[in-house]
Structure 1
């Protein structure tokens, strides 16, 4: 463990406890050392692994503690956009205008000019791949009339899905002290997206897309790193640390893995990979806890 930087005592104790939980009942190879590094600082870290087919919780640490969602927020923005597609309110060719307010959002964004618009299909890709804040806000304004009204719609939908501890204040996940969620709620949302919109879920596996003749690359490095990972969304603001919701779907297993509060994207991704490896071990029983979902 000499390659790990020294941690304050409370962080070392917390990290050791997490490692003990990870290793309990595990007969496969020991997860990488990054498992120790990710949980620090404890005030930001939270994680959960759920078997998406049965709802069984396989692992959790602080999964019901309040955390900032960052760009995981955009998962709900997309949920409502997928609903609009399903009901026929929009088509993939519908043009969404980009207001001055939307265009003024800080990066990451596509940088629109006054009066420009984006079609729904490109908007979905921009939000998934680029995590474009300007596009997320434009979608929110189009569907909700204003971003504030759309955020209220997002929170209402969260309650319908059983996300009991989530409040949305914007469509993008940009910093807002009153916007919060939990790892458990993000797992609920990740599963709801796959179950409700299987025909749209392929968007979350895309790592780049063409927009106006330019290749736009994403930054979800879990795609292509672990066989079976097919999405879905990363997020970061300074207050949250590095967040991710990851879907694993291979060999008859379907997992949703949520990690929040990592110190870097690399730590976060290493931790997710270790949790997937652990959860696929035949010796892992998991907690006898079933996540309950409201009617969608």
Structure 2
């Protein structure tokens, strides 16, 4: 009996040893795949006028993008702004998921909000992971949906070696790119959104009373460098995409897998110095794939964020004119009600040297508690409880909480103009979707409503007056 048991144990031991060897082999194989993408040098320099590759080193090898990922998040943000779906002052509400993102981050509390412009500036300077996720949820509903939009957009731009799994570049083994693809994206950002490209040259900005300094130390150090983005995780090494404009010459250069921020920056400086003189002073043809209006990314974004390309009517309606047709012209803002007012922001160009971004850095508690604001009274959405007579509409939202947030923000921006008004929300159907109007009532006459709307427009708040 003892001999039999001894044999079984011996055989079992051999089986477990074999299983252990197989498991370790698989583990090492996976580790080898990850190591092949991790912190290995890759670079490319492209003439941004002609598309000619001036230098390439393993430019099509897979690499982890780290915070270079935010370039695509910003691409889709600029696209939404161009199409009128959001604007610089649209509230970006931070969900619990967004607020919980690892540093570096802006440090906004869950339920609070900043403007789209503040989110953009925090990404191009501090590389804020929480802002990236909050923007992704604003534009895509969920971060995973937005990542699918990012990958679809990458394909439409010709970035065949890139897959996105999140909006900020925090470690994910399924998220990868190439130096070539990042160069294409860098060119596309300048080429497709010249009106917003200047954000990438921001060296610092004011967030409340706190100055946020940027990570891109080549800005101001090398003549002509006007962006674009830095990135770092342990697995990616130190990454950098730079755009250079000097006279008629333009370059986009990418360095990935640097061993330190300083060595990465020095390598980029060498590439710019060597290849900028070789760049063409002529030519400005199509360099990257244009966005396809029939693409899956655009189709999905339209279902997630209503289109509002039609401008808001600025003229007053005639005495007997119907204004209901203006409904489609008003902004549809996908925002939940922020717990505090949208934080103020003042850009500032002064550069301050800053160490390369470290995901392990402590969170910055820059989002100070804001003064409490008396909320605007919210009437029931039933027609019997809504104010009668002339009202002023400022926007609409896909949720009642979003409409209420718009009311609160409008009062903060134009308290004097709305001193005698009462805010309320009311629902309406558009196709199979319910939206909620953000309106102010209590005006004694049409003239009073017009005057209030005129005062709002002077503060860049879109509106129109209508009789209920």
TM-score class, shorter? 0.7 to 0.9
- Residue equivalent to 2:52: 56
1:214-269 deviation digits (Å, cap 9, x = unpaired): 11111100101100000000000000000000000012110001000000010000
- Residue equivalent to 1:110: 106
SS in 2 for 1:89: coil
CA contact (8 A) 2:98 2:110 kept: no
Out of 267, 273, 298, the residue aligned to residue 277 of structure 1 is 273
| Deviation larger for 200-209 or 109-118 | 109-118
- Residue equivalent to 2:290: 295
Matches within 5 A, 1:243-282: 243-282=239-278
Q: Is 1:230 the equivalent of 2:230?
A: no
CA distance in 2, matches of 1:53, 1:199: 18
Matches within 5 A, 1:103-252: 103-252=99-248
CA distance in 2, matches of 1:81, 1:280: 30
Alignment gaps of 5+ in structure 2: 1-36, 292-468
Matches within 5 A, 1:69-108: 69-108=65-104
CA contact (8 A) 2:164 2:176 kept: yes
CA contact (8 A) 2:39 2:256 kept: no
CA distance in 1, matches of 2:117, 2:38: 39
| Deviation larger for 105-114 or 160-169 | 105-114
CA distance in 1, matches of 2:51, 2:286: 5
Distance 1:130 1:223, change over 3 A: same
Distance 1:42 1:279, change over 3 A: farther
CA distance in 1, matches of 2:287, 2:130: 34
CA distance in 2, matches of 1:165, 1:209: 34
1:135-166 deviation digits (Å, cap 9, x = unpaired): 00000011000000000000000000000000
Distance 1:147 1:274, change over 3 A: same
User: Per-residue deviation at 1:291?
Assistant: 9.9
Alignment gaps of 5+ in structure 1: 1-40
- Residue equivalent to 2:61: 65
CA contact (8 A) 1:241 1:264 kept: yes
Distance 1:126 1:103, change over 3 A: same
Please, what is the CA RMSD of the aligned residues? 1.7
User: Per-residue deviation at 1:47?
Assistant: 0.1
Distance 1:292 1:90, change over 3 A: closer
Divergent runs of 4+, >4 A: none
Distance 1:42 1:129, change over 3 A: closer
Q: TM-score, normalised by structure 1?
A: 0.82
CA distance in 2, matches of 1:114, 1:65: 38
User: Per-residue deviation at 1:281?
Assistant: 3.5
SS in 2 for 1:118: strand
CA distance in 2, matches of 1:144, 1:279: 39
SS in 1 for 2:277: coil
Q: TM-score, normalised by structure 2?
A: 0.52
CA distance in 1, matches of 2:277, 2:195: 30
CA distance in 2, matches of 1:140, 1:98: 10
CA contact (8 A) 1:48 1:187 kept: yes
Distance 1:42 1:85, change over 3 A: closer
User: Per-residue deviation at 1:122?
Assistant: 0.6
More RCO (CA 8 Å, sep 6+): 1
CA distance in 2, matches of 1:280, 1:187: 15
CA contact (8 A) 1:162 1:292 kept: no
CA contact (8 A) 1:57 1:291 kept: no
Distance 1:98 1:62, change over 3 A: same
User: Per-residue deviation at 1:295?
Assistant: 2.5
User: Per-residue deviation at 1:114?
Assistant: 2.5
Q: Which has the larger radius of gyration?
A: 2
Distance 1:43 1:175, change over 3 A: closer
- Residue equivalent to 1:6: none
CA contact (8 A) 2:104 2:128 kept: yes
CA contact (8 A) 1:183 1:259 kept: yes
